[in-house]
Amino acid sequence: MTQFNLMTGSIPMTVQQDVASNLKIISDQISSAAVRAGRTSSDVTLVAISKFQPDERIAAAIAAGQRVFGENRVQEAQQHWAARRDAENDLELHLVGPLQTNKVRDAVALFDVIQTVDRPKLARHLANAFMEMGLTRRCFVQVNTGEEPQKAGVIPENADAFVAECRELGLPVEGLMCIPPVDVPVAPHFALLGKIAERNGLAALSMGMSADYEAAVELGATHVRVGRGVFGERAGQT
Specify the pLDDT at position 233: 77
How far, in Å, CA of 176 to CA of 190, rounded? Answer: 10
Specify the pLDDT at position 1: 34
Specify the pLDDT at position 86: 84
pTM of whole model > 0.85? yes
CB atoms near residue 121 (< 10 Å) = 9
How far, in Å, CA of 201 to CA of 196, rounded? Answer: 9
Of the candidates 217, 233, 237, the residue with the CA atom closest to the CA atom of residue 46: 217
Domains of the chain, each with CATH number or no CATH = 13-231 (3.20.20.10)
Specify the pLDDT at position 234: 64
> Residue 175 carries which side chain, given as an amino acid letter?
G
User: What is the DSSP pairing of strand 45-49 with strand 68-71?
Assistant: parallel
DSSP, res 100: -
Tens-of-pLDDT digits for all 238 residues of the chain?
334 445 446 899 999 999 999 999 999 999 999 999 999 999 999 999 999 999 999 999 999 999 999 999 999 999 999 999 888 889 999 999 999 999 999 999 999 999 999 999 999 999 999 999 999 999 999 999 999 999 999 999 999 999 999 999 999 999 999 999 999 999 999 999 999 999 999 999 999 999 999 999 999 999 999 999 999 876 444 5
Specify the pLDDT at position 6: 52
Element (H, E) at 173: strand 173-177
Residues with Cβ within 8 Å of residue 41, at least 6 apart in sequence: 27, 30, 31, 34
Specify the pLDDT at position 33: 98
Specify the pLDDT at position 89: 86
| Helices marked H in the chain | 13-36, 55-63, 74-87, 104-110, 120-133, 156-168, 187-199, 213-218, 228-231
How far, in Å, CA of 49 to CA of 93, rounded? Answer: 10
Give the CB-side neighbour count of residue 171, counting CA atoms within 13 A. 32
